[in-house]
Amino acid sequence: MNAANPIQKETPKKKSFELFDFLYKYGTIITILALVIVFSVANPSFMQGSNIINILRSISIVTIIAIGITISLSVNGFDLSVGSVASLSNAIVISMFVWFSQNTLVAIIAAITASLIVGALNSFMIVKMRIPDMLMTLATMFIIQGIALTYTKGATVSQNMIMPDGTFSTGVISPFFAKLGQVPWIIIIMVVAVVLVHIFLTYTKHGRYMYVIGGNQEAARLSGIPVNKYKVMAYLMSALFAAIGGIVLASRVMTAEINAGAPYLMDSVAAAFIGFSVLGAGKPNAFGTFVGAVLIGILQNGLVMMSVPYYSMDIVKGTVLAFALALTYYKMKS
């Protein structure tokens, strides 16, 4: 009888742990389905095709930038500068058209090149100078934000804007470039980014090496993996996707607003961390990041349709991020 007692006591504990595992794996999906039901009941137009397209369009830029964060997280890094890099990319690509009358290819290459320089700076300071990634990218965030403001002189860059000499700008944004930010192209770019990074991280040796580095950097080094090389690659790729996000944003709004990319940082970080738990991945992954972005997009869209004040949105998003972080790190320690 005494021997049976411990077994009887352990059984409920095992069941509760299995329930936690189920919620960890499918909690995000269940939450999305629950939100869809709630918002659909509150407003029947929520499930209309036009609104679903609107949600996908609204999360496209967030997803693209979050994919870059996901890559930096895969090597146990963290890039906080992506919002500022997106702002810089946004300002440069529009200015190439408006100020310098360049074609689409030159404008995009200029924006990506500037962003990769930021990624190179981050990786050099983190890998060679051994500055903690969060502190370095935080510093870079402010530096690049200042550079973008200085470059635009604190003004919105747009067609027919007044130049410093009092004349109007003569450059025109390419009609081809303008299409990149429209449906369906903006959604296609997002889907391609998610698929490519998913394949890269999951099915290539380079992606697997990044996960090994993220899991145990010293073990990866001892096994012959060039750790520094892959960390540099991760920060360059993070900057690249931030640049693409800024370029798509520029195409969508056709102007370069002051700090245009800054509002996307929090949403992108939230999407990347929510992605850890999707289907029990337990690690940064492109598909999970997309699901996380969908969750945030549905929340924002549904709350707007329910006439929730815009200034309350950050409370909801912050709560979702806190819950995702709590779930992720609790699972890592358990």
- What's at 281, amino acid-wise? A
Say if CB 303 and CB 316 are below 8 A apart: yes
Q: Is the peptide bond before 175 cis (omega within 30 degrees of 0)?
A: no
Res. 8: pLDDT tops 70:
no
CA 84 vs CA 142, 156, 209, 293: distances in Å:
8, 16, 28, 19
pLDDT attached to residue 277: 82
Res. 14: pLDDT tops 70:
no
In whole angstroms, give the CA distance from residue 155 to residue 15: 59
Share of the chain above pLDDT 70, in %: 93
Find the mean pLDDT for residues 22-48: 89
- What's at 142, amino acid-wise? F
Find the mean pLDDT for residues 122-136: 96
Cβ neighbour number for residue 312 with a 10 Å cutoff: 10
Q: What are phi and psi of 211, to 5 degrees?
A: -65, -40
CB contact burial 50-68 (16+ within 10 A = b; e otherwise): ebeeebbbbbbbbbbbbbb
Find the mean pLDDT for residues 208-226: 96
Q: What is the pLDDT of residues 226-238, one digit of tens each?
A: 999 999 999 999 9
CB-count burial class (<10 Å; 0-12, 13-18, 19+) for 83: buried
Find the mean pLDDT for residues 241-247: 98
Find the mean pLDDT for residues 303-308: 89
Res. 312: pLDDT tops 90:
no
Say if CB 46 and CB 55 are below 8 A apart: no
Res. 104: pLDDT tops 50:
yes
| 316 CB-near residues (< 8 Å, 6+ apart) | 299, 303
Q: Could you give the count of Cα atoms lying within 13 Å of 3 in the half-sphere of its Cβ?
A: 0
**Taking Cα atoms as reference points, which of 25, 135, 71 lies closest to residue 272?**
71
Domain boundaries 48-333, CATH class: mainly alpha
The pTM assigned to this predicted structure is: 0.92
Share of the chain above pLDDT 90, in %: 75
Find the mean pLDDT for residues 254-258: 93
pLDDT attached to residue 332: 63
Res. 211: pLDDT tops 60:
yes
Res. 7: pLDDT tops 50:
no
**Taking Cα atoms as reference points, which of 113, 80, 129, 107 lies closest to residue 238?**
80
Res. 251: pLDDT tops 70:
yes
Angle between helices 227-253 and 82-98 (to 10 degrees): 50
pLDDT attached to residue 1: 47
Q: What integer best gives the mean pLDDT of the chain?
A: 91
Q: Cite the DSSP H helix spans in the chain.
A: 4-42, 49-74, 82-98, 104-123, 133-152, 175-179, 185-203, 205-215, 217-222, 227-253, 263-274, 286-305, 313-333
Confidence class for position 203, pLDDT limits 50, 70, 90: very high
pLDDT attached to residue 333: 64
Find the mean pLDDT for residues 140-161: 94
